[in-house]
Amino acid sequence: MKPRSSGIFGRLSHPGFLMSQDLKGWKNWTRWTTHLTILSGLAALSGCSGMSILEAPYYQVTDVQSFKTYGAPSQAMRIEIHDRASTLPDAVWAQALSNHGYPPRITFLTADDTPSSDQTLRDGYRVVAVVNPTLATSRQKMCTSPETAETIETAGTTEKDARVTVRFAFCAGKDIISEVRAHIVKNNFEQELVNNADSVNFMLFPRQIRDRGDRNCNRFAPGC
211 within domain boundaries:
no
Pick the range with the lowest mean pLDDT from 35-49, 50-64, 193-207. Answer: 35-49
187 within domain boundaries:
yes
Candidate ranges 120-124, 185-189, 218-222; pick with highest mean pLDDT: 120-124
Q: Is 212 within 8 Å of 35 (Cβ atoms)? A: no
220 within domain boundaries:
no
Helices 90-97 + 197-204 axis angle, to 10: 80
218 within domain boundaries:
no
Q: Is 2 within 8 Å of 25 (Cβ atoms)? A: no
Residue 77 confidence (pLDDT): 98
Dihedral (C-alpha) 220, 197, 94, 139: value to the nearest 10 degrees? 70
Residue 30 confidence (pLDDT): 46
State the total domains in the chain.
1
Q: What is the pLDDT of residues 125-159, one digit of tens each?
A: 999 999 999 999 999 999 999 999 876 666 666 67
Contacts of 183 (CB under 8 A, 6+ apart): 44, 52, 53, 54, 55, 155, 163, 164, 165, 166
Task: Identify the domain containing residue 106 by its residue range.
Answer: 23-204
Residue 21 confidence (pLDDT): 36
For residues 168-194, average pLDDT: 96
Residue 59 confidence (pLDDT): 97
Pick the range with the lowest mean pLDDT from 35-39, 162-166, 191-195. Answer: 35-39
13 within domain boundaries:
no
215 within domain boundaries:
no
Residue 160 confidence (pLDDT): 73
Q: What is the pLDDT of residues 50-96, one digit of tens each?
A: 789 999 999 999 999 999 999 999 999 999 999 999 999 999 999 99
Residue 205 confidence (pLDDT): 97
Bigger pLDDT: 51 vs 219: 51
Cα angle 183-79-135, degrees, rounded to a multiple of 5: 40
Instruction: Report the C-alpha gap between 196 and 106 in whole angstroms.
Output: 15
- Which residue, 200, 215, 210, is CA-closest to 32? 210
pLDDT > 90 fraction of the chain, expressed in percent and rounded: 62
Q: Is 88 within 8 Å of 194 (Cβ atoms)? A: no
3 within domain boundaries:
no
Q: How confident is the model at residue 46 (pLDDT cuts 50, 70, 90)?
A: very low
pLDDT higher than threshold 60 for residue 22: no
Q: Count CA within 13 A, CB hemisphere, residue 86.
A: 1
pLDDT higher than threshold 60 for residue 32: no
What's the whole-number average pLDDT of the chain? 80
Whole-model pTM: value is 0.74
142 within domain boundaries:
yes
